[in-house]
Amino acid sequence: MPSWIDTHCHLDAAEFAADRDTVRQQAAAAGVAHCVIPAVERANWDAVRQLAHRHGDSYALGIHPLYTARAAEADLALLDQALQQHRHDPRLVAIGEIGLDFFAQGLDTARQEQIYRAQLQLARRCDLPVILHVRRSADQLLKGLRETAVPGGIAHAFNGSLQQAQAFIALGFKLGFGGALTYDRALQLRRLATELPASALVLETDAPDIPPHWLYTPAAQRAVGQPQGRNAPAELPRIAGVMAGLRGQSLVDLARSTSANACAALPRLAGLLQKI
């Protein structure tokens, strides 16, 4: 059975409160050897670190753009302190999830920019890659990366143009593909998944979010009380099967290449995987 890396899984989310350990065990049984658990705000920095140690996974620390409105002025200094405190922890593999979101309503663009750029400075100082939230913001993210060089990372849930993809790749980034790829209507995303070189791709679930099509609940059904399907890291091999089919690639080859890419994007992963 191929061995997979889920490069983006919010295992600490409230949706997993009742069965978190079981969810991780099911993923392992499905062949998911490793999960990267990114933080979203100060309140969950300890949780992601503890989960990564409990399950033999890895984590990232950062402030997500959707949480910038409630981030305190002191949070960037506290993030700096946490990164210094845990700098020798091999399971701390990146700064993230950070970035910009120009889709969600009501967010302060200037505040997002300030916190994003400050975290790029931290990544540069700590020599850590970043895990980027990219939502209608690719060009502005790239502008920040050109002005503050960091040691690469992953553009999570990428859904931009081929030119934007190539620009991220040129800056040392890998591109994360997950459940959105499984929808027949995702024509541009599917084209990207086939046109980009194998060396650019990593796999992710973003669990519990971005459910693949087989877990999606249509709006009409949600309106009458049927809940949205919960994504989980155990879905990664089936998502990978969709990508392999689109690319005409074997699952074994895809597992090998995407795992190597994850280690290239997040270099501390390699040492952790050797212990599995």
Does 46 count as an annotated binding residue?
A: no
Does 156 count as an annotated binding residue?
A: yes
For the chain, the three-class secondary structure string (H helix, E strand, C coil) is: CCCEEECCECCCCHHHCCCHHHHHHHHHHCCEEEEEEECCCHHHHHHHHHHHHHHCCEEEECCCHHHHHHCCCCHHHHHHHHHHHCCCCCCEEEEEEEEEECCCCCCCHHHHHHHHHHHHHHHHHHCCCEEEEEECCHHHHHHHHHHCCCCCEEEECCCCCHHHHHHHHHCCEEEEECHHHHCCCCHHHHHHHHHCCHHHEEECCCECCCCCHHHCCCHHHHHCCCCCCCCCHHHHHHHHHHHHHHHCCCHHHHHHHHHHHHHHHCCHHHHHHCCC
Does 133 count as an annotated binding residue?
A: yes
Q: Which residues of 21-45 are buried (b: 16+ CB within 10 A; e: fewer)?
A: eebbeebbebbbbbbbbbbbbbebb
Does 213 count as an annotated binding residue?
A: no
**Residues of each annotated binding site:** 8, 10, 97, 133, 156, 206
**Residues of each annotated binding site for a divalent metal cation:** 8, 10, 97, 133, 156, 206
